[in-house]
């Protein structure tokens, strides 16, 4: 399939490489199926961080099934495919009890949007953290997403700092960490993840400011095309920052409760 026929294929491939890399560092449990799907088990107690992801616009249910059946799945997990899932994938997910379907907007900010302007208010400082500071990063991110720290404990491992192209950031006000972000640069693509703001510092534009700083970092690294997977709530915020929704990621998981 050519790039013209699958214009978002490069992004899907970059995302697959990232989830494979994270799982490889966290647990060593990551592998590829014959049809290109990726199995990645981070060990985190959250479905979206464990599972099978197909970067193909036409995912093969047999490929997904072979990977899904190869794991004991002692942690929550998911099956993730691009776009609208077909019947065969939906049936395969249901066979494993993954009957909840969520859709995450894939949003892209193209190079023609240009380098974002420097912020008028420089009270918020966004800086990369060293591997030794990843414990701080993970703790702030957990607080920002209002979940127990063990949910994002994998990001506290200093070994994560060795992931090629991946940089972790904290946002600070007067030296106090109030938010986080992460970039994953692959060629001219800059994936943006883990943007969070502490509850007591919301509604001040910090999340948008962190995102713009990460976009600038991508430009500086030769990756002017930025992408991210947004929540429904975050979609209009990122749209105001020059991102546009170009596809949806369908995520099958077990019903909660």
Q: What is the DSSP string of the chain?
A: --TTT-TTHHHHHHHHHHHHHHHHHHTSEEEE-TTS-EEEE---SSGGGEEEEE-SSS--HHHHHHHHTT----S--EEEEESSPPHHHHHHHHHTT--EEEEEEEEEE-GGG-SPPPPS--SEEEEE--GGGHHHHHHHHHHHHTS-GGGGGGGG-GGGGGSTTEEEEEEEETTEEEEEEEEEEETTEEEEEEEEE-GGG-SSSHHHHHHHHHHHHHHHTT--EEEEE--TTTHHHHHTTT-EEEEEEEEEEPPP-
- Per DSSP, which regions of 42-163 are E strands? 50-54, 78-82, 100-109, 124-128
Contact 59, 21 (CB under 8 A): no
> For domain 115-223, is the CATH number 3.40.630.30?
yes
- Which pLDDT does position 18 carry in this prediction? 97
- Which pLDDT does position 2 carry in this prediction? 65
Contact 183, 218 (CB under 8 A): yes
Q: How many CB atoms lie within 10 A of CB 109?
A: 25
Q: pLDDT truncated to tens, each residue of the chain (257 aa)?
A: 666 678 899 999 999 999 999 999 999 999 999 999 999 999 999 999 999 999 999 999 999 999 999 999 999 999 999 999 999 999 999 999 999 999 999 999 999 999 988 887 788 999 999 999 999 999 999 999 999 999 999 999 999 999 999 999 999 999 999 999 999 999 999 999 999 999 988 888 889 999 999 999 999 999 999 999 998 888 988 999 999 999 999 999 999 86
pTM (predicted TM-score): 0.95
The residues, any chain, with a CB within 8 Å of residue 59's CB and separated by 6 or more, are 35, 37, 81, 82, 85, 86, 89
Domain with CATH 3.40.630.30 in the chain: 115-223
Surface-to-core class of residue 80, CB atoms within 10 Å of its CB (0-12 exposed, 13-18 middle, 19+ buried): buried
Distance of CA 148 to the CA centre of its chain: 19
User: Which tokens in the block code for residue 114?
Assistant: 């240009």
Determine the Cα–Cα distance for residues 236 and 43; give it in Å rounded to an integer. 31
Q: What is the DSSP string of 45-75?
A: SSGGGEEEEE-SSS--HHHHHHHHTT----S
- Which pLDDT does position 12 carry in this prediction? 97
- Which pLDDT does position 1 carry in this prediction? 63
- Which pLDDT does position 205 carry in this prediction? 86
């Amino acid at each position: 399939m050519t790039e013209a026929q699958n214009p978002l294929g490069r992004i899907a491939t970059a995302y697959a490489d990232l989830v494979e890399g994270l799982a490889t560092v966290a647990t060593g449990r990551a592998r590829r199926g014959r049809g290109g799907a990726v199995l990645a088990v981070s060990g985190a107690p959250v479905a979206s961080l464990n599972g099978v992801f197909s970067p193909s616009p036409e995912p093969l249910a047999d490929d997904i099934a072979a990977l899904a059946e190869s794991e004991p799945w002692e942690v929550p997990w998911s099956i993730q495919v691009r776009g609208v899932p077909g019947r065969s994938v939906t049936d395969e997910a249901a066979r494993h009890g993954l009957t909840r379907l969520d859709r995450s907007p894939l949003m892209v900010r193209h190079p023609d949007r240009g380098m974002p302007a420097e912020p008028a208010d420089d009270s918020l400082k966004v800086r990369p953290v060293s591997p030794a500071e990843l414990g701080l990063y993970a703790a702030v991110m957990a607080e920002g997403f209002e979940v127990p720290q063990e949910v994002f404990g994998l990001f506290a491992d200093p070994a994560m700092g060795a992931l090629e192209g991946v940089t972790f950031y904290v946002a600070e006000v007067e030296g106090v960490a109030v938010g986080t972000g992460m970039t994953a640069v692959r060629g001219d693509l800059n994936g943006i993840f883990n943007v969070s703001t502490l509850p007591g510092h919301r509604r001040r534009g910090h999340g948008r400011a962190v995102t713009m700083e990460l976009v600038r970092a991508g430009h500086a690294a030769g990756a002017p095309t930025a992408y991210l997977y947004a929540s429904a709530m975050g979609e209009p915020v990122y749209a105001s920052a020059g991102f546009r929704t170009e596809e949806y990621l369908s995520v099958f998981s077990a019903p909660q409760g």
